[in-house]
Amino acid sequence: MIMQCDFVHVQLHVSSSTRTYRVTIVETTDDARWGDTVVRRLSTTARGGDGDDDEEEEEENGKNKTSSPSIDRVRRIVRATFLPAGYPNAVSNDYDKWLPWHLASLFARDIIEVLTAQSLVVAVGLGAAPGALPLAAAAKWVLKDGVGSFATLLAGGVAGNRYDEDVRRWWVASSILEDAARILELLTPFAPNKFLVIAGSASLVRAVAVTGRNSLINGAIMRHIGRAENFSDVRAKLEVQGRMLALASLPAGLLLFRAAAAVNAEDTPIGAIVAVVGSYVVLFLGHGYACYKSACALELDTLNRRRLALCAMAFACGDSLPTPSDAALREGVFANRFPLKEVAVACKAGDAARDSSTFDRLAAACVAGAARGGAHIEDVAPFVVGFDEARARSACVCVPPDAPPINVRLGALAAAKLSALIAESNDDMHVVTEASAWAAANESEFEEALRRSGWRSEAVLLGAAPRVRVAVECV
């Protein structure tokens, strides 16, 4: 939202031209290096499968020729019940690596839910008069869930667009938050008079966690796993697997809770207390580790800012592009998404330039270079590449709101080439123009290389990254 703004008019000219473009840059920023929010206008002259299923069935029939009909029937029933139709061809290649860890985390979570549910019930009942118990318990429970509903609205509205860009990190973060909420719920029996405060806090934290987890499992992860557009089938099978684990976890959770209740006695041996507490610790750590490993197992083939930067840098250096599996290892879960000396995609204008005048000249150089390289400037809103002084002059690129994928790819390519050229010249504007021209001339080849390496190039996930609006018209 643009509040009180100043307007700066700058006339720049770019040498030799076959076409003339008017570039209008409207950018909002709160960057302290630039002072108050500024809107700049710049005018410049620039240049510019059915057969596979049959084979799979024949192969499986061949393997099972020696099995009895009853065993074959049981296998088919189990397969149809717990696995998506067309498995394994209808799911992603990393499904088999991801699923065991996901199920392990579900099993641990189900046991924790049994424990926390009983703790909450005990806490609601303690400290209330017998006649008032039903009404007091109901009121406390409704208020507790009301807090969680508010947190769901907050999490979905604020963080929703961040989930798709960084699936692994948000998956683990959601699991950590959920475990923190469960720990709070386990503490409620020790302070029944503070039930509403503790349980409400737990409900708030857990609602944020569940919003993130459900958004990921029903959105990005499901889209990744369902290779045959069979999202409903894959999701249904995950539900079946989860319900089976919930049934299996029920007796384990009840036994552990009874053991925990027994250690409240004054004559309980210290060894029993340590054993119960140790069991809780192991359970929570096991759940967290399983969630972390399931996140590591995902080999996402969608392009986000980090994965696009890795591919662009490899292409600019003439190397083979990393595959989704290679990029998963480099991206990790908690690794720095913008390391020094590596390209940062979708940065602030204040990161690309030290002041508005420099930013204006960078924009003009990018438009001129992209037009010279053959980009259709009328159709593709230009990017702006620059040098992030705070990251040792690492190359970065600003992209406009609602940027089409080709625009983001062009910007990433230009920034990657800029990293390679920056040491060859002291003229920043010259290398920006050259990098932009090279990017425009090689974008089609880059897109094809992405597809050959297993990437889906139809979209680039930018999440809540900052945007810079740049509009161009031919005059």
| Cα–Cα separations (whole angstroms), residue 196 to 58, 191, 205 | 60, 10, 14
**The two three-digit tokens of residue 90, written as one number:** 């209808």
Percent of the chain at pLDDT > 90 equals 27
Class of domain 99-297: mainly alpha
> Cβ neighbours of residue 53 under 8 Å, at least 6 residues apart?
86, 89
Percent of the chain at pLDDT > 70 equals 73
- Which amino acid, one-letter code, is at 444? S
Q: Measuring CA to CA, which residue among 128, 347, 111 is closest to residue 250?
A: 111
Pairing between β-strand 394-398 and β-strand 469-474 as defined by DSSP bridges? unpaired
Domain limits of the chain? 6-45+304-474, 99-297
With beta carbons less than 8 A apart as the criterion, state whether 23 and 46 touch.
yes
What does pTM read for this prediction?
Answer: 0.75
Task: Assess whether the previous peptide bond of 88 is cis (omega < 30° from 0).
Answer: yes
Pairing between β-strand 38-45 and β-strand 302-304 as defined by DSSP bridges? unpaired
> In which band, very low, low, confident or very high, does the pLDDT at 291 lie, cut at 50, 70 and 90?
very high
Pick 238 or 216 by higher pLDDT: 238
Among the ranges given (141-145, 227-231, 268-272), the one the predictor scored with the smallest mean pLDDT: 141-145
pLDDT reading at 23 higher than 60: no
**pLDDT per residue over 402-440, tens digit each?**
788 998 999 999 999 999 898 777 788 999 999 999 999
pLDDT reading at 54 higher than 70: no
**The two three-digit tokens of residue 301, written as one number:** 């083939």
Among the ranges given (101-105, 149-153, 255-259, 324-328), the one the predictor scored with the smallest mean pLDDT: 149-153
As a whole number of angstroms, the longest Cα–Cα distance in the chain is 92
DSSP H helix total and E strand total for the chain: 15, 9
pLDDT reading at 138 higher than 80: no
Q: Is 257 left (phi over 0), alpha (psi -120 to 50) or beta?
A: alpha
- Which amino acid, one-letter code, is at 178? E
Task: Summarize the confidence of residues 395-405 as an average pLDDT.
Answer: 87
**pLDDT per residue over 70-93, tens digit each?**
887 888 787 777 887 668 876 888
Q: Measuring CA to CA, which residue among 355, 410, 420 is closest to residue 384?
A: 410
Pick 161 or 66 by higher pLDDT: 161
**pLDDT per residue over 238-268, tens digit each?**
889 988 898 888 888 888 877 777 766 556 6
Tokens 């390496």 locate to: 453
